[in-house]
């Protein structure tokens, strides 16, 4: 099996990739996460995921570089990671009682061939109405400050989620079903690996 390199500093993505049962090495990409041009959400996350994968690929002689990028979208407004507690509160106020979308771009580059696959996943998430006190107390925990959309579906933010349509793992930051299908295009089948090891 080709070695797998996860181009991410996110402990959540490492935790999710571990669920596939495949061995991998984390390599933190050194990239700017912003883009100059205005892009639709699916193109934005694909562009950023590919940028991360390309940043790591030159340091790999053989294997698959896997990268991802996630954004939350409310009424066509992209909500990335909040800059501070005020912005986190504003984002949660927007999401309160509303449905929003979570997009994650996934990029896989094979070395040394340079072959690549770039795709994305979209999930719809519905928040229950939140009170100002709930928002303030949640922001005070610090959990929202490094999360797209200012919440963690796998953490305390789960108590705000009334429903999810689509891939839950996408909301956490790595759509596992989509990634597994992409890996199979490169001859890496998680089920086959687990059965043989």
Q: CATH code at 115?
A: 3.90.950.10
Kindly tell me if the per-residue pLDDT of 37 is higher than 70: no
In whole angstroms, give the CA distance from residue 156 to residue 165. Answer: 20
Kindly indicate the confidence band of residue 102, based on its pLDDT and cuts at 50, 70 and 90: very high
- Per residue in 132-173, pLDDT tens? 999 999 999 999 998 889 999 999 999 999 999 999 999 999
Q: What is the pLDDT of residue 31?
A: 82
Q: What is the 3-state secondary structure (H, E, C) of 1-53?
A: CCCEEECCCCHHHHHHHHCCCCCCEECCCCCCCCCCCCCCHHHHHHHHHHHHH
Reply yes or no on whether 69 is catalytic: yes
List of residues 6+ apart from 109 with CB closer than 8 A: 53, 54, 57, 64, 65, 115, 116
Give the angle 72-30-88 at the CA atoms, nearest 5°.
30
Using CA atoms, how far residue 50 sits from 8, 99, 125, in Å, is 12, 28, 25
Structural domain for 185, as ranges: 4-196
Which is the catalytic residue, given 69, 76, 84, 189? 69
Closest by CA to 180, choosing from 117, 111, 102, 112, is: 117
Closest by CA to 92, choosing from 123, 129, 124, is: 129
In whole angstroms, give the CA distance from residue 34 to residue 16. Answer: 24
In whole angstroms, give the CA distance from residue 73 to residue 124. Answer: 10
Closest by CA to 150, choosing from 94, 81, 86, 47, is: 81
Q: Model's pTM, two decimal places?
A: 0.90
Kindly indicate the confidence band of residue 4, based on its pLDDT and cuts at 50, 70 and 90: very high
Number of domains in the chain: 1
Written as six digits, the tokens of 174 are 């790595």
Closest by CA to 102, choosing from 144, 141, 36, 44, is: 44
Q: What is the pLDDT of residue 33?
A: 65
- Per residue in 38-83, pLDDT tens? 889 999 999 999 999 999 999 999 999 999 999 999 998 898 889 9
Q: In whole numbers, what is the pLDDT of the chain averaged over residues?
A: 93
């Amino acid at each position: 099996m080709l070695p797998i390199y996860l181009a991410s500093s996110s402990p959540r993505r490492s935790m999710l990739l571990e669920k596939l049962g495949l061995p991998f090495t984390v390599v933190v990409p050194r990239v700017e996460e912003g883009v100059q041009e205005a892009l639709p959400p699916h193109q934005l996350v694909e562009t950023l995921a590919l940028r991360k994968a390309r940043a790591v690929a030159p340091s790999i002689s053989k294997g698959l570089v896997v990268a991802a990028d996630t954004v939350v979208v409310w009424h066509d407004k992209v909500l990335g990671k909040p800059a501070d507690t005020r912005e986190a509160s504003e984002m949660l106020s927007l999401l309160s009682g509303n449905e929003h979308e979570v997009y994650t771009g996934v990029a896989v580059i094979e070395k040394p061939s340079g072959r690549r696959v770039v795709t994305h996943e979209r999930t719809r998430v519905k928040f229950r109405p939140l009170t100002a006190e709930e928002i303030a107390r949640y922001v005070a925990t610090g959990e929202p400050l490094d999360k797209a959309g200012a919440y963690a579906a796998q953490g305390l933010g789960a108590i705000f989620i009334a429903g999810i349509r689509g891939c839950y793992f996408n909301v956490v930051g790595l759509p596992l079903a989509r990634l597994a299908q992409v890996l199979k295009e490169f001859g890496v089948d998680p089920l086959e690996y687990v059965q043989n090891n």
